Each structure stands twice: as C-alpha cells, then as structure tokens.
Chains A and B, each alone.
Chain A
Amino acid sequence: MIRILGLLLISLLPITSSARGVYQEPTAFINEVFAGKPPAVSRLWLTGTLKEDASEILGHPPASLRLRYWGQARRTAWVLEEIGKEKPITVGIVINANRIERIKVLIFRESRGWEVRHDFFTAQFSNIGLQADRDLDKPIDGISGATLSVRALKKLSRLALYLHQHTPFAHDAP
C-alpha cells in the first residue's frame, strides 16, 4: 500500500497549470466594482494624525507614504496589502456609506491560512462598520491555524473604513 501511495504522490508532481496566488488582478477588481467605468484614481497621503492612526490600526507604521483609492458617490474602493505570516496578502475592499460593501482577497502568497480567500470566510465582513475605538463593530470568527491571515484581513478592513472617513466621499449625500 505504501508503494502505491508513493507512486501516486510522484505521479502528481509533473501536473502543472496556473500558478496559485493571483485570484483577481487589482485593476480588474476596480473595474468590476465600478461596472467597467472606474473614476479617476485619488490619493490619500498618510501624514500627521492619519499616519499615527494608521500605525495604531496596523500595529506598525504603514509601508506606504500615500494610498490610492477610487471614489464615487458614497463609495470608495481600496487595494491594500498586509503581511500575514511571511508574505503580503493583497485585498480589495469597497466601503459604501461607512460600511464594508465587499472584501476580496486578490493575491494570496502564504503557505497557510488559505481559507481567508474564500467567500465562506469573507462573507463575515459584509456590512461591518467601525466603532469609536476604531475596532470593527461585529466580531469575526477566526480560523485555527490561520490566525495571522485572519488578523491581516481584520486590520485592512479597519484601515479601509478609517481612511474612507477621511475622503470627500464619506460625506456625499445618498
């Protein structure tokens, strides 16, 4: 039986197809969010209080001096990155009227924590907002063995919600 299993393992090795990792290109995500007509890109510089608060949310200084986002009416779309255990996880987040409309893992590079890229996990974030203490206003149930990937997504959700409040689109009339 062991020999048969060995042959089975070896026989699987030459099979190759697309590389794991990129589930949707960020540009495709933005196009999809705005039904093929995305607005011009805006930039938010992380300086002063914005930088301090972003650092508090992430638990470390932000890796970027500024962040690009796309805004229209009361919606903003963000493509953000945070390291899970070793590698950055690229996430697309749409905020609508200060609540999460959609969150999607676009690129996942980690060896563990794969569950966070699937709808059964990200569905938890739907319609979540930010409390006064900048924490999410609903608990997110974790995944044993994927603690760091779950943590990365929670941080990015909090960051997108917070940054949305500092764009002109946060105050647009419905």
Chain B
Amino acid sequence: MKYPVLLRQSIVLTALTTTGLVHAAAGPAPTIEELWTVIQAQQKQLEALKAKAQQTEEKVEATGEILEQQVASSGGHGGSGKTTIGGYGELHYNNLEAGDGTDTKEIDLHRFVVYFGHEFNERTRFVSELEVEHGGVEADGSPLDGEVEVEQAYVEFDINDEVSAKGGVFLLPVGIINETHEPPTFYGVERNPVESVIVPATWWAGGAAVTGNFANGLSADLALHSGLQIPTTGSSAFRIRSGRQKISNANANDLAMTGRLKYTGIPGLELSGSVHYQNDISQVSGDGADEATLLEAHAIWNRGPFTAKALYASWDIDGDAVEAADADKQDGYYVEGSYKLTKEFGVFARFNDVDGVRVQDEFDQVDVGFNWWPHEDVVIKVDYMDRENDNDSDRDVDGFNVGIGYQF
C-alpha cells in the first residue's frame, strides 16, 4: 500500500501518540520503517477484532433465539406450558355484635384455593379448582371444622371459534360472583348475602354444558347437570343453600338445567339473565317439594373509576309442603356503587334485601367500606356492615370486617 509522505508522517505521529511510544523514556527512537510495521500489525489486529465482534454479535443473537424458544415453551404461572398452576385465598377478621348481645370476634382462613390446568392440545383443556375452607378438616370437627372441596374439574372442548363444550364438575352460569370470585375482583370482606342465601354461591354441579361466544358481544350458556336436593325437615328445611350436593355421590334422580344469556357488547356494560329449572328440588317424589325455577338477572355498568351493580334473584318452588312453610317464594336483590379514587384504592356502598326461608335469612343489610390493592393481585379490605332482621331484632347484626386476599 503506497501513502504520500505527508500522510505517512501523520499516521506515524498518530501511532506514536496512541501507542504511547512518544514519552520521556530514555532509549533510541524507533525508525519510520519500524513504526510502519507496528501500524500494519495494528491494522491486522483491528480487522481481527472487528471479525470477532461480528462473531460475538451472531453468538448473542443465537443465544437470544434459544432463550426465547425456551421461554415460549415454559408457559405461564409456574407452568410447563401445558400445565398451569394458580390460586387465590383470603383471611377474614370479623368483629360483629348481634341484637341479643352476643359478639362474634373471629379470625378465619376462609379460603385457600389452588388451580391446576392442563392443555391437552389447542382445542382440549382441563380446568380444576381445589379449595380448603376454614383452615381444613378434622374427624371430630375440632378445632378444624372446615371443608375440602373440588369446585371445578372439567374438560373443555372447542367445537369451533365460537362454541365450546365441557363435561365434568363446573360452576353454574348464574349471578355475578359464582364464576368470578377471586378476592381482588370484588368489594367487601364477605361476599354479598343475596349470592349466598338465594343464589347459593359458590354453586357447582356435575354434568355437561355448551357455551357460545359471538362477535356482537352476546354469549349463551346451556348446562345439564346434577340438581339440588333440599331438605324438607329440620332447621334447614327448604333452605336452598343446604341443597347443594357438592358432587359427593350426588343424587341424580332428577337432573337440572341452567341457561344464561349475557351481553357484553358495549365496553363497561354487562347485562345477564339466567334460568335454572329442576323438576323435583328434593329429589323425592310426593314429599311436597316439587318443581323449582330460579330466575336471576343482573347489570353491571363501569365507566372509568365508577362501577354500579344490581342483581335480582328469585325462586319459585311448587309443592304443598313448601307452600305450607311459606318457602315457595325466596328472593333477594342488591345494588352496589363503587368508586376508585386511585388505581390502588376504592370505596363502595351496597344495599342488600334478602328474603330466604329461615328467620335469620330475612333481612336488609347495608355494607360500606374500602379496598386497597397494594399490588393488583393483592387486596386489603375493610368494611362496616349493618343487618336488620325483618322479624327478630335479636338477629340484627352490626360491626366491621377486615380481610386480606390474593390471586395468582
């Protein structure tokens, strides 16, 4: 390579400077030719370094590709891609006083729930929910008087883009909280009493169901499943909640069906109506408890930080014994307003009117309180409740509740 003399001298000077050959050290100065040899050697090193940098970049890219492939196959929450794990739970502190002067001061691990899901292929999946209530169980009920329950265990098949079917144990498509009840998703420490006394949430059954979800925001559910088996004698006679069989050798003499139409085609709006029908709600013919129909309707309206909810549910039960016990009509409603002051903090107020069959299940109740979400999946709740019984002031209850809940 030929360079003009001036350029060669400039390069030599630059090289002298950069290589530190120009210094105050003693010794003979290198010749121009020696320096030129050094520069040529440095040029080769520079080209080698460039090639190495290119190789390193290619290796990093290849490593990135491999890592991304591994991440893509590792799935979600603690999953292997095919199998997923999740859960939720809540601890409650209740400080309540009844009209007869008795106090309730309790701390209760109300729920500890684990989900297991598995994807057999793109069209077939398994969903399950295992729940331990009130800390666990013991043979004699002391000190653990809770329950261990499988509330969901079903296989779902996609029939096409819009229709899916499932078989197994599943939550019935009724009400607001029956299918979605993770603590961070609702206000109030305890769930609303209408969806406990009238809609016996959490309400699950064994059977088969078909669901259609359509582009206009309409969805339809139809399920054929195990029915209720309400008692006709004793202190819980004709009480709906006592009729849940929980799929433990459930009596299937008389199956039930549940249908729902839901519209969510306008962002923030949900309108839903469900019908549940059972030919014999006690599963025993001739005992005076026969045909039963539940009608449930609700609306949810969310605009920015404000949400309003309203739900009404009503049972109509036929039978001489039911009518004699004044249990043929059991209904309730609630209205709730909530406002999120910040992303982490919201306040709510709710009015509930419940008309069940037992004396203690006939009341009006007001709840006010707040939710604080220190993380979007963790909630701390505080509320004050005031329950006025329709017939017996000894059963009035007021006080406050504190809870902590999570989901993952």
A binding-site residues for B, Cβ under 8 Å: 1-2, 5-6, 8-10, 12-13, 15-23, 59, 63-66, 83, 85-88, 109, 111-112, 114-115, 118-121, 123-124, 139-147, 151
Contact = CB atoms under 8 A, between A and B. Distances in A.
Given A20-B161, A144-B180, A88 B264 contact: no
A12 B210 contact: yes
Contact of B123 (A9, A19, A59, A123): A19
A85 B123 contact: no
Interface residues of B, number: 59
B217 A118 contact: yes
B154 to A, nearest CB: 10
Nearest to A10: B208
Contacts of A118: 215, 217, 265
Contact of B267 (A16, A65, A66, A143): A143
Nearest to B254: A2
Contacts of B257: 1-2, 5
Interface of B: 64, 67-68, 71, 75-77, 79, 84, 86, 115, 117, 119, 122-123, 125, 127, 156-165, 176, 179-180, 185, 208-210, 213, 215-217, 219, 222, 224, 255-257, 264-268, 270, 277, 279, 300, 302-305, 375-376
A146 B209 CA distance: 20
A145 B264 CA distance: 10
A171 B241 CA distance: 63
Nearest to B64: A65
A21 B224 contact: no
B216 to A, nearest CB: 8
Contact of A115 (B165, B217, B277): B217
A114 B402 CA distance: 33
A12 B86 CA distance: 31
Contact of A9 (B115, B165, B213, B216): B165
Contact of A145 (B75, B162, B215, B270): B270
A12 B302 contact: no
Most buried by A among B71, B76, B115, B160: B76
A111 B302 contact: no
A124 B302 CA distance: 14
B127 A111 contact: yes
A140 B176 CA distance: 21
A147 B267 contact: no
15 contacts: A2-B224, A2-B279, A6-B208, A12-B210, A13-B159, A20-B160, A83-B77, A86-B84, A86-B117, A87-B75, A87-B119, A109-B122, A114-B213, A139-B305, A142-B302
